[in-house]
């Protein structure tokens, strides 16, 4: 796939006239009962890549790569490198610093901007070819892929009953899979939780799994995103052993993002362990898989970019690993992830669909990827469509 797409870019006569950053102002969340993603209220950035032909590509850097100011600075820096260059040069542009492999969220603004530029490039290519982006990846794709409901966010002082209530609600809407997180203290944003993860309440998590399984039935699949909050491997093993008695599809990031910790955990449990949302390169996924530190790949196009994502597909196939896209951000990131996932029948069985409050999941582009029952359906707009 990659060679064919690279050749399409080489054949393009487009060059870059300007790279623009647009700041999206946050929405009020003061009336929301449950936690929301921090960028919904603080705001985030999108990137517009202008070409000499007049076509404009759209991309969305990870809002967790860095804050708005660091993202703006990163766009300015990368723009100086790419202005006047060919579309192919922008498509293949990379800066791989292995010192950043274990940085995680908050220190990856430049990597996120490079990822957004790759989205811009594939968007422009689709517009040049007069086809949707997903057809570039797989001409046979119908643009439909199952989604799982990703929510389960409550504060520490809220009732555990809310978890099972939400899971049952989404089962009744047609979903077969639902993901939850351990309750969180009020007043902590994503960067703060990432830097100093609060401890988990093991009994509360176990009770939630029991309650959801009872309410929704044994066939209903439960996913758990721990957010790196287990104190040590021993606590993570306890969680995995309990979960193995229920239909828990995978446990996401139970431990701090340390390759040795994950390798030890995977050697001692049968539950599938997922990670990778903070990775920005194919090299990181390969490093983790050869060290038996990852079962399920969770890349996000808003941090790894499109071209790297295609390389990750090949690594996952080589090592017989499943891909489940991390897909938590806004409309442009969403349509990019879903477009890539729809090209992978059999390798990606479902895509994350955030069910928490976020008005930007659909509002940024005219024809976003939409949910019909439990399936994402992609529009037939050229490229990713227009904003």
Whether 176 and 223 have beta carbons less than 8 Å apart is answered as: no
- As a whole number, mean pLDDT of residues 84-103 equals 87
* Architecture of the structural domain at 134-377: Alpha-Beta Barrel (3.20)
How high is the mean pLDDT of the chain?
Answer: 95
Predicted confidence at residue 187, as pLDDT, reads 79
- As a whole number, mean pLDDT of residues 38-44 equals 96
Predicted confidence at residue 327, as pLDDT, reads 98
Higher pLDDT, 361 or 193: 361
Tokens 């309750």, residue located:
183
- For domain 2-130, give its CATH number from 3.20.20.70, 3.40.50.2030, 3.30.390.10, 1.10.3720.10: 3.30.390.10
Predicted confidence at residue 362, as pLDDT, reads 87
**Ranges of CATH 3.30.390.10 domains, the chain:** 2-130
Over residues 315-370, the pLDDT tens digits come to 999 999 999 999 999 999 999 999 999 988 778 999 999 999 999 998 899 999 99
Q: pTM for the complete prediction?
A: 0.95
Burial class (CB within 10 angstroms; exposed 0-12, middle 13-18, buried 19+) of 93? middle
Give the span between the Cα atoms of 307 and 88, in whole angstroms.
11
**Ranges of CATH 3.20.20.120 domains, the chain:** 134-377
Sheet holding 16-24, edge to edge: 16-24, 44-51, 56-59
Residue 250: pLDDT over 80 = yes
Predicted confidence at residue 103, as pLDDT, reads 65
Residue 373: pLDDT over 90 = no
Predicted confidence at residue 6, as pLDDT, reads 97
Whether 85 and 39 have beta carbons less than 8 Å apart is answered as: no
- As a whole number, mean pLDDT of residues 118-143 equals 97
Over residues 201-232, the pLDDT tens digits come to 999 999 999 999 999 999 999 999 999 999 99
pLDDT band of residue 379 (cuts 50, 70, 90) is very high
Residue 105: pLDDT over 80 = no
Strands 248-252 and 221-225 come out as parallel
Give the span between the Cα atoms of 327 and 355, in whole angstroms.
11
Torsion, Cα 4 7 9 14, to 10 degrees, reads -150
Whether 99 and 111 have beta carbons less than 8 Å apart is answered as: no
Over residues 42-59, the pLDDT tens digits come to 999 999 999 999 999 999
Over residues 1-14, the pLDDT tens digits come to 999 999 999 999 99
Q: Which has the closest alpha carbon to 352: 120, 180, 197?
A: 180
């Amino acid at each position: 796939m990659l060679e064919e797409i690279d050749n399409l870019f080489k054949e393009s006569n487009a060059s870059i006239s300007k790279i623009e950053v647009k700041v999206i102002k946050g929405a009020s969340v003061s009336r929301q009962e449950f936690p929301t993603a921090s960028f919904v209220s603080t705001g985030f950035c999108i990137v517009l890549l202008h070409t000499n032909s007049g076509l404009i590509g759209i991309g969305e850097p990870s809002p967790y790569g860095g804050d708005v100011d660091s993202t703006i600075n990163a766009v300015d820096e990368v723009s100086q490198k790419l202005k006047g260059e060919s579309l192919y040069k922008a498509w293949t542009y990379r800066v791989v610093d292995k010192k950043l492999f274990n940085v995680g969220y908050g220190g990856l603004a430049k990597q996120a901007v490079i990822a957004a530029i790759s989205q811009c490039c594939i968007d422009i290519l689709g517009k040049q070819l007069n086809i949707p982006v997903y057809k570039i990846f797989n001409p046979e794709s119908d643009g439909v892929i199952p989604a799982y409901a990703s929510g389960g966010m409550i504060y520490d002082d809220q009732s555990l009953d809310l978890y099972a209530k939400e899971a049952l609600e989404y089962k009744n809407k047609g979903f077969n899979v639902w993901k939850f997180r351990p309750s969180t203290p009020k007043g902590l944003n994503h960067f703060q939780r990432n830097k100093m993860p609060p401890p988990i309440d093991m009994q509360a998590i176990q009770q939630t799994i029991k309650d959801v399984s009872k309410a929704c039935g044994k066939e209903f699949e439960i996913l758990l995103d721990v957010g790196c909050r287990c104190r040590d491997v021993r606590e993570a093993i306890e969680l995995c052993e309990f979960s193995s008695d229920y239909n828990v599809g995978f446990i996401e990031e139970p431990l701090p993002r340390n390759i040795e910790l994950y390798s030890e955990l995977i050697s001692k449990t049968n539950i599938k362990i997922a990670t990778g949302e903070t990775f920005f390169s194919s090299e990181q996924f390969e490093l983790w898989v050869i060290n038996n530190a990852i079962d399920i790949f969770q890349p996000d196009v808003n941090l790894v970019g499109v071209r790297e994502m295609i390389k990750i597909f090949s690594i996952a196939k080589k090592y017989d690993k499943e891909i489940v896209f991390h897909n938590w951000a806004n409309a442009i990131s969403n349509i990019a992830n879903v477009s890539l996932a729809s090209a992978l029948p059999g390798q990606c069985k479902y895509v994350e669909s955030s069910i928490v409050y976020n008005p930007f999941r659909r509002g940024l582009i005219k024809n976003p990827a939409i949910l019909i029952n439990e399936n994402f359906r992609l529009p037939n707009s050229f490229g990713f469509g227009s904003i």
